[in-house]
């Protein structure tokens, strides 16, 4: 898989090194371009109310004993909070200007990460003039990253502007588990960006999880077991004539069976047809080595692509489908079923490691998708977000 990073610093002179101490780790420092951004604190993005996890309706695994009670608040420096400066000479600057500034800023943060000076890149950017999907499209276009097409994606998303996907189409009552975007796939984006266009009245918090911490927190025997046995992702996807939320035509972006097969073959999937419906599968390791640091990171969707995830959805409430008839399910690559207790431990560890962030309207959250997981809590009322993914 080709991973590309825009890592060319272009002569920025005014970086300040801001030092913070995350609990239980060495002091880390990050480079912030103080001409355009000021560093905020975790106080700026605290959750306005506690986010219940244990016993939460429509959250996979939440009724199993031992599930974490509540989502933790953001910690100092994760995510890094940057606020666009409001000096008079910056007031009328265009979205493209801010895009250029942020591109250079991100490049510096990746360098800090690569040099061992910081945690994985997770930045919440506040104060930009982003109000619409068009604005967001202009902003991400200017970052100059290589576009990643959401072909074969698990969620229900539409491309609403250039580079811009609608937020996940899963029902609002449902909480989406922590995941690295498309880590179930043979090819996945390395950058995930989301903006909030309309904040919901209640809920809809974004949780993020430091993949480095998660990797360290997972039980060593469990990690070794998954490394040894791998993961097989098995997708069952209906023909659009079945009227399902998911269809192979929508997901693979074609109505031509041959084109669908060519895509699957090119991407390294095995497949077969169940009359009009499509079944495809791939075997993956449970971890990746980050291309910038070489460190081994937990990177998979063993639980979020498992049938137990779908069983927690309102649409599948009380359903008695066989595991392999859900949109996705996972087993080990050696053919063994994944132990439910193992899935539970992984769910608990990920939620215990995660922190919750309440995105305000116009906020942009940028994540290194290889090293930071994200999720969406259920919500009430209207909510609009837009996302963008890049190679």
Contact string 10-29 vs Fe ion (x = CB under 5 A):
--------------------
Q: Quick one: angle between helices 340-353 and 220-229, nearest 10? A: 120
Q: 62 vs 305, which CB is nearer to Fe ion?
A: 305
Q: 185 vs 307, which CB is nearer to Fe ion?
A: 185
Is 263 in contact with 151 (CB distance < 8 Å)?
yes
> Of 181-200, which residues contact Fe ion (CB under 5 A)?
181
Distance CA 214, CA 224 (A): 14
- For every residue of 310-351, DSSP letters joined together read HHTSGGGTT----GGGSSEEEE-TTSPPPPHHHHHHHHHHHH
Contact string 165-184 vs Fe ion (x = CB under 5 A):
----------------x---
Q: 112 vs 181, which CB is nearer to Fe ion?
A: 181
Greatest extent of the chain over all pairs of C-alpha atoms, in Å:
64
Q: 118 vs 306, which CB is nearer to Fe ion?
A: 306
What angle (nearest 5°) sits at the alpha carbon of residue 315, between those of residues 386 and 374?
Answer: 35
Pick from 18, 22, 19: nearest CA to 37: 18
Size of the site for Fe ion (CB under 5 A): 1
> Of 264-303, which residues contact Fe ion (CB under 5 A)?
none
Instruction: Quote the least distance from Cβ 206 to Fe ion, whole Å.
Output: 10
Distance CA 161, CA 202 (A): 27
Q: 30 vs 71, which CB is nearer to Fe ion?
A: 71
What's the sign of the alpha-carbon dihedral 133, 139, 142, 145?
Answer: negative
Instruction: Count other C-beta atoms under 10 Å from residue 179's C-beta.
Output: 23
Instruction: Quote the least distance from Cβ 255 to Fe ion, whole Å.
Output: 26
According to DSSP, residue 177 is labeled E
Q: 207 vs 333, which CB is nearer to Fe ion?
A: 207
Instruction: Quote the least distance from Cβ 374 to Fe ion, whole Å.
Output: 6
Instruction: Quote the least distance from Cβ 19 to Fe ion, whole Å.
Output: 31
- The strand pair at 164-166 and 379-380 is best described as unpaired
Instruction: Quote the least distance from Cβ 179 to Fe ion, whole Å.
Output: 6
Burial class (CB in 10 A: 0-12, 13-18, 19+), 160: middle
Burial class (CB in 10 A: 0-12, 13-18, 19+), 79: buried
Q: 178 vs 343, which CB is nearer to Fe ion?
A: 178
Contact string 44-83 vs Fe ion (x = CB under 5 A):
----------------------------------------
Q: 181 vs 368, which CB is nearer to Fe ion?
A: 181
Q: 188 vs 263, which CB is nearer to Fe ion?
A: 188
Cis peptide before 79 (omega within 30 of 0): yes
Q: What are phi and psi of 66, to 5 degrees?
A: 95, -5
Instruction: Quote the least distance from Cβ 372 to Fe ion, whole Å.
Output: 11
Instruction: Quote the least distance from Cβ 289 to Fe ion, whole Å.
Output: 22
Residue 213 parent element (H or E): helix 211-217
End-to-end CA distance of the chain: 10
Instruction: Quote the least distance from Cβ 59 to Fe ion, whole Å.
Output: 15
- Alpha carbon 141 to its chain's center: 19
Q: Retrieve residue 282's tokens.
A: 């791939």
Instruction: Quote the least distance from Cβ 58 to Fe ion, whole Å.
Output: 17
What angle (nearest 5°) sits at the alpha carbon of residue 118, between those of residues 127 and 107?
Answer: 55
Q: 84 vs 124, which CB is nearer to Fe ion?
A: 124
Q: How many residues does the chain have?
A: 391
Give the residue at shortest CB distance from Fe ion. Answer: 181
Instruction: Quote the least distance from Cβ 151 to Fe ion, whole Å.
Output: 15
Contacting residues toward Fe ion, per CB under 5 A: 181
């Amino acid at each position: 898989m080709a991973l590309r990073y825009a890592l060319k610093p272009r002569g920025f002179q005014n970086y300040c090194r801001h030092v913070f101490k995350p609990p239980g780790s060495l002091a880390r420092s990050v480079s912030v371009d103080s001409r355009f951004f000021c560093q905020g604190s975790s106080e700026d993005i605290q959750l306005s109310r506690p986010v219940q996890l244990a016993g939460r309706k429509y959250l996979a695994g939440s009724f199993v004993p031992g599930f974490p009670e509540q989502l933790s608040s953001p910690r100092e420096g994760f995510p890094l909070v940057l606020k666009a400066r409001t000096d008079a000479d910056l007031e009328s600057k265009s979205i493209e200007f801010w895009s250029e500034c942020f591109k250079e800023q991100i490049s510096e943060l990746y360098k800090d990460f690569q040099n061992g000076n910081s945690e994985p890149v997770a930045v919440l950017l506040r104060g930009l003039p982003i109000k619409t999907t068009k604005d967001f499209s202009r902003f991400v276009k200017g970052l100059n990253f290589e576009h990643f097409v959401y072909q074969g994606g698990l969620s229900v998303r539409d491309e609403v502007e250039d580079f811009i996907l609608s937020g996940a189409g899963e029902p609002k009552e449902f909480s989406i588990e922590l995941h690295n975007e498309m880590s179930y796939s043979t090819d996945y984006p390395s950058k995930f960006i989301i903006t909030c266009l309309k904040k919901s009245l209640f809920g809809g918090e974004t949780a993020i999880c430091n993949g480095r911490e998660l990797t360290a927190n997972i039980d060593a025997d469990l990690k070794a077991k998954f490394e040894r046995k791998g993961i097989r992702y098995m997708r069952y996807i209906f023909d659009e004539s079945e009227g399902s939320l998911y269809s192979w035509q929508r997901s693979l972006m074609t109505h031509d069976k041959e084109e669908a097969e060519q895509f699957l073959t090119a991407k390294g999937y095995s497949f077969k047809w169940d009359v009009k419906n499509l079944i495809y599968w791939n075997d993956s390791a449970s971890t990746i080595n980050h291309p910038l640091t070489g460190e081994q990171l937990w990177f998979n969707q063993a639980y979020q692509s498992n049938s137990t995830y779908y069983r927690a959805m309102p649409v599948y409430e009380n359903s008695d489908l066989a595991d392999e008839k859900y949109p996705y399910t996972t087993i080990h690559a050696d053919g063994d079923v994944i132990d439910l207790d193992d899935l539970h431990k992984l769910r608990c560890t990920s939620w215990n490691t995660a922190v919750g962030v309440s995105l305000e309207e116009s906020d942009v959250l940028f994540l290194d998708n290889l090293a930071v997981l994200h999720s969406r809590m259920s919500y009430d009322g209207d909510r609009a977000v837009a996302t963008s993914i890049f190679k």
